[in-house]
A and B are shown apart, each in its own frame.
Chain A
């Protein structure tokens, strides 16, 4: 019986969302728009980037590799240099984006130890380009390695060592996809939940629900379910766009990423619930969601502005912004390819926030009903 009531309610919530064209547009159009705008504004594909090579090996193996790089459409070999100082000069001039150093023992190491190192030095003052270029170069090196390994018993390993000059941590840009994910989920979950509950208060239907035998807890749950599902659709859209349109792969486990996103969505839903308990009108709910959630997400999650550079009091504030933690989680999984051990602390913080907010709102919600 309860199940049936619950389904009837969830169905009704879906009808509300799907019938409201404007909401739908915001719900599904926004993530696509943001990803595309950010994507093409920030990561324009880099073609024919100038690269210099310091070939200390000067043998067949190294020539092969250089040839392969020169043949790719991403790189133009500007020339060979003789020492590290020349590399530095070239990079500083700004004409050259990247340098490759092939150490003298390259072929020897490959032949005798089955692994050899390479050094890649990039100008990271434009961190996005640097990142893209080092990804390109690494994949060219991996291709070379695969070809070498085609007919040898013990596989060779080439280990490129990256060095980002001028901006070693790639601060400021990172990859914006985690930021957009946090932003979109925050917007959809917090605002939509808050508004949909407050709307029932405004129109008087909430009273009818409270007079009915339908449990208040179920009212909240059935509001949460549609937005949870719709938000997961959004996560999926963003990931698909980022992988297929922007060529930004998910390096870690996708399942883990989805699980963590669900956790963040639940946190957002609990914030939305909290706002809806306090707000009396849809406008208030929307304003609180926008000012109280969107702005902190943009300012304090580390997405636009690096937290390390903020004054201490602001750094303290960032701790209570849920998207800050989610942003770290997504970055760790998507970009660094880390597992759960690396992010359990952030996950626990999000879970704690969700539990706390839900308990506080439920308590207030009940009082209101009585």
Chain B
């Protein structure tokens, strides 16, 4: 199996505080990898290092086969990112957002038009194409943001709590999009709070106090911790946490 993310003892320190401690993991192509942890456990820090938004204090990592220190340009071309905060331009229309983000990833205008139309059709946004993104409901915005994040067909897409604040039905629809992308060979690296979402992941890791405490498939984890649901597994691990918000 092709490895697309490989980290070795990746660490981020802020003074004496170790936000992420010696994280070593491998993620395979086309996998949906869940990255779990309580608030303040360090998952956003770890993810920001992988995206190139934050420089690690020590350790190494390869994204899509490129070194995160030396080949940042190559890394950037091969990843997509969707942050916690909703991150399209609300004062631009659906199509304008698509054109803009396609444009800054260097897609040609013909390519953008084709992909944009396919995307709008897939999301059923035909009648909203010329509406400002700000006027769409949150669930649609998030689905659109995800589709825009993978518009340039990256090898990996990082999703930082992508489904915050929406109802379970919309979350389910969002995950349908994620599965579709994974089927096309895009690796999904997703952080989440929701334990039902954890069940949707192929494999997942659970971070506690900056360390990765567990890493396996959901069923293997449940077996290991003699739990019936991911909720219990998470509770079992997070109970010993010293840091919390």
Q: Is the CB of A15 within 8 A of B91?
A: yes
A4 nearest CB across to chain B (Å): 7
B81 — which chain A residues lie within 8 A by C-beta?
Answer: 207-208, 211
> Which chain B residue lies CB-closest to A19?
B91
Which applies to chain A's interface (DSSP): helix, strand, loop or mixed?
helix
Q: Is A213 an interface residue (CB 8 A)?
A: yes
Q: Is A5 an interface residue (CB 8 A)?
A: yes
Q: Is B124 an interface residue (CB 8 A)?
A: no
Q: Inter-chain contact count A-B, CB under 8 Å?
A: 78
Report which residue of A11, A204, A209, A213 has the largest number of chain B beta carbons within 10 angstroms of its beta carbon.
Answer: A213
A68 — which chain B residues lie within 8 A by C-beta?
Answer: none
A212 — which chain B residues lie within 8 A by C-beta?
Answer: 76, 101, 104-105
A1 — which chain B residues lie within 8 A by C-beta?
Answer: 106
B84 — which chain A residues lie within 8 A by C-beta?
Answer: 204
Residue interface bits A303-329, CB-to-B below 8 A is 1, else 0: 000000000000000000000000000
Q: Give the residues from 58 to 102 in chain B that come closer than 8 angstroms, CB to CB, to chain A.
A: 73, 76-77, 79-92, 96, 99-101
Q: Is the CB of A369 within 8 A of B53?
A: yes
Query: Range of interface residues on chain B?
Result: 20 to 34
Q: Is the CB of B76 within 8 A of A213?
A: yes
Q: Is B135 an interface residue (CB 8 A)?
A: no
Q: Is A205 an interface residue (CB 8 A)?
A: yes
Bound form: Cα–Cα A210–B91 in Å? 20
> Which chain A residue lies CB-closest to B97?
A12
Assuming the contacts A15-B96, A210-B53, A211-B52, asked whether A204 and B76 have C-beta atoms less than 8 A apart, the reply is: no
Query: Range of interface residues on chain A?
Result: 20 to 34
Q: Is A9 an interface residue (CB 8 A)?
A: yes
> Which chain B residue lies CB-closest to A212?
B104
Report which residue of B51, B90, B105, B106 has the largest number of chain A beta carbons within 10 angstroms of its beta carbon.
Answer: B106
Q: Is A85 an interface residue (CB 8 A)?
A: no
> Which chain B residue lies CB-closest to A17?
B91
Q: Give the residues from 1 to 29 in chain A that come closer than 8 angstroms, CB to CB, to chain B.
A: 1, 4-5, 7-9, 11-12, 15-16, 19-20
Q: Identify A214's interface contact among B54, B104, B149, CB under 8 A.
A: B104
Bound form: Cα–Cα A5–B81 in Å? 18
Q: Is the CB of A211 within 8 A of B76?
A: yes
> Which chain A residue lies CB-closest to B86?
A204
Bound form: Cα–Cα A207–B48 in Å? 10
Assuming the contacts A204-B83, A207-B83, A213-B77, asked whether A8 and B99 have C-beta atoms less than 8 A apart, the reply is: yes
A93 — which chain B residues lie within 8 A by C-beta?
Answer: none
Q: Is the CB of B100 within 8 A of A8?
A: yes
What residues of chain A have their CB less than 8 Å away from a CB belonging to chain B?
A: 1, 4-5, 7-9, 11-12, 15-16, 19-20, 203-205, 207-214, 369-370
Q: 6 tightest CB-CB pairs across the interface, nearest first?
A: A8-B103, A204-B85, A211-B81, A204-B87, A214-B104, A213-B76
What residues of chain B have their CB less than 8 Å away from a CB belonging to chain A?
A: 51-55, 73, 76-77, 79-92, 96, 99-101, 103-106, 149, 158
Q: What are 26 inter-chain pairs, A to B, with CB distance below 8 A?
A: A4-B103, A5-B103, A7-B103, A8-B100, A8-B104, A12-B92, A16-B89, A16-B91, A19-B91, A20-B91, A203-B86, A204-B84, A204-B86, A205-B88, A205-B89, A207-B83, A208-B81, A208-B101, A208-B149, A211-B52, A211-B158, A212-B76, A212-B105, A213-B105, A214-B104, A370-B54
